[in-house]
Amino acid sequence: MKPADLDDLDRPWRTWASLIIGGMLAFSIVMGFVVIPVVQGYGAGIDPFTAICRAVGLVPGSPSTRQPTSAAKAEPTTQVAWSTQLLRTLSRPTDMGAVVAEGCVACHGQRGIASDPQNPNLAGQSAVAIYKQLHDYKTGSRANDIMTPIAQTLEENQIRAVSVHFAAANRRSLDPTTAEVVDEDIVRLVERGDPARALPACNSCHGFSAGGPIETPTLSHQNREYLARQLRAFRDSSRRNDIYTRMRSVSAKLTDREINRLAEFYATTLQY
């Protein structure tokens, strides 16, 4: 057979196949984007045009249900929102950092290591975490009689500078001889969490480069008294600046013993 004949033979197949596929496409478009939305929308009191726009995806909502409305008044837990630009400045050291830090050494120590264990160490803390806490003190999201007035005197660029400054300092060195052997169940909480209580492992957020929320502070090498006090503050919601109750929901499930032992663990264990 000559190629021209083959072409003739194929033509009816091609024509029919194209017609069937085209027909199915047209049918689906008319059914899915026009008939069904308009009929469903009619039942739900949605005008045909809106129903079609919703079905096509131009307007949010399903064509068969009224779109819920929200008259929410925003009561944010914190005013901080992470932008790329902000995160970039929190990785750049400036000369201003050391100057601002002079106002902090009395309580947080010369190099960010506090001599009074009630005060937190800032040395080696992540700049993002320090920034968020200072910003929260300043805006009132986190309240403390000592820190609130101090943070209120700082300008935004000073907060950024001092955060980077302390983040660059070396952490408190730990004495291997004082490292406490902590109970197995505490180590399990730190490393594995407790699925039955929907309690994620502390280290899934607090572990080194764990990939949890970026504002998560480093806990290791922190002071035990300070850690325990913060866990209690989260538990009774007197500290409530954690976005979406990340820490409040965790600490609400902890017992007093667990809080004390976890604080001890992070304050003395060398590993993390």
Applying CB under 8 A, which residues contact another protein? 1, 9, 54-55, 57, 60-66, 68-70, 72-79, 81-83, 193-195, 198-201, 203-205, 207, 210-213, 243-246, 249-250
Q: How far is the CB of 202 from ligand HEC (least distance, A)?
A: 3
Contact 63, 51 (CB under 8 A): yes
Nearer to another protein, 77 or 94 (CB): 77
Pick from 17, 146, 168, 270 the residue near ligand HEC by CB under 6 A. 146
Minimum CB separation of residue 176 from another protein in Å reads 27
Amino acid identity, position 10 = D
The least distance separating another protein from the CB of residue 245, rounded to whole angstroms, comes to: 5
Give the long-range contacts of residues 170-179, CB within 8 A, separation 24 or more.
Answer: 170/111, 170/123, 170/124, 171/113, 171/121, 171/123, 171/124, 171/218, 171/220, 171/221, 172/113, 172/121, 172/123, 172/124, 172/221, 174/221, 174/268, 174/270, 176/270, 178/268, 179/268, 179/269, 179/270
218: Cα separation from own chain's centroid? 15
Residue choice 119, 220, 223, 268 for contact with ligand HEC (CB under 6 A):
119
73 interface partner picked from ligand HEC, another protein, none, CB below 5 to 8 A per type: another protein
Type of residue found at 83: S
x-marked contacts with ligand HEC along 191-230 as a string, rule CB under 6 A: ---------x-x-xxx-----xx-xxx-x-------x--x
Nearest to 272 by CA among 200, 195, 197, 217: 217
Contact between residue 39 and residue 48 where contact means Cβ atoms under 8 Å apart? no
Q: Does 133 bind ligand HEC (CB under 6 A)?
A: yes
Interface positions, 235-254, toward ligand HEC (CB under 6 A): 241-243, 246-247, 250
Structure tokens of 155? 């300008």
220 binds, among ligand HEC, another protein, none (CB under 5 to 8 A by kind): none
Least distance CB 168 / another protein (angstroms):
26
Query: 104 touches which of another protein, ligand HEC, none (CB within 5 to 8 A by kind)?
Result: ligand HEC
